[in-house]
Amino acid sequence: MRDGAAMKDFLRRIWTNKLAAAGTLVVCLLFGVSFAAPLLITHDPQTIDVTRILDAPSKTHIFGTDQLGRDVFSRIVYGSRISLKVGFVAVGIATFIGVVLGSLAGYYRGWVEMVVMRFVDIMLCFPTFFLILAVIAFLDPSIWNIMIVIGVTGWMGVARLVRAEFLTLREREFVLAARAAGAGDLRIIFVHILRNAYAPVVVSATLGVAGAILTESALSFLGIGVQPPTPSWGNMLTEGKDNLQIAWWLSVFPGLAILVSVLGFNLLGEGIQSALNPKLRKR
């Protein structure tokens, strides 16, 4: 009952925050469009029609067609699946690595903390995007490689957040009580402490999805991300830049899709932070 009341209170704070509510609606819409893609589109996103090349937006093709006569709206809808898949899988990998390493560093301290945090410092010395480019150069530019590379190069912030939370929680009374009751280190870390340190992790993960979507779009725009003919917002922008003067819709609509989705996740992350942080609830 207590958990149910806490969840209701959390959802109430989200909906009373206008920006957070707007972000929630955008994210829900993005998920709805992604899952309902087969019901929403009337044109196959990969079907080439040489009679409809670079058609302007109309009733038949509401977002127009590209240089091969493919329906832009259909490709954007299916591209949302790619963006969500990359965002959540990459952030899931980064969050898992960051939580494990941050928990160990914050709980054990000593040489474990020194090794983990020095490794974090070394990773932070490299610009993330250029590190991703360097790794991708040795791999095939597939969607799975993109997700894994983004994940294994984006865990450092989560590790630092979790470590900081563990440093403040490891000497609390409930931890001492669990240790006195005979609980092992792993149980104390992942059952007692981590469940009280989830707030910054949830916020970081939500904001991380937006960052992963931007990174995937940038890689696809450069031609080393998702490869055509698979529709991705990034490679759609690449195709649109060559016809920008005569077919503005090829760049505008994919760009708006990236803008709205990233903005939605950022607003949702800020709303979750306000809802979970007692110091920000009155703002």
Full pLDDT tens readout for the chain, 283 residues: 455 666 677 677 777 777 788 888 999 999 998 888 888 888 888 888 888 888 889 888 899 899 889 999 999 999 999 889 999 999 999 999 999 999 999 888 889 889 999 999 998 888 878 888 877 777 777 788 888 889 988 899 999 999 988 888 888 888 888 888 887 888 888 888 888 888 888 888 999 999 999 998 988 888 888 888 888 898 899 888 888 888 899 999 999 999 999 999 998 888 888 777 655 555 4
Domain that holds residue 61: 16-280
In a domain, 3, yes or no: no
Amino acid at 200: P
Decide: pTM greater than 0.85.
yes
Alpha-carbon distance of 182 to 201, in angstroms, equals: 28
The per-residue pLDDT for 258 is: 94
Alpha-carbon distance of 174 to 270, in angstroms, equals: 29
In a domain, 68, yes or no: yes
Burial, 6: exposed, middle or buried (Cβ in 10 Å; 0-12, 13-18, 19+)?
exposed
In a domain, 4, yes or no: no
Q: Please give the tally of structural domains in the chain.
A: 1
In a domain, 6, yes or no: no
In a domain, 85, yes or no: yes
Query: How wide is the angle at C-alpha 265 spanned by C-alphas 235 and 17, nearest 5°?
Result: 155
In a domain, 231, yes or no: yes
In a domain, 8, yes or no: no
Block residue for tokens 């709205």: 260
Query: Which CATH number does the domain housing residue 228 bear?
Result: 1.10.3720.10
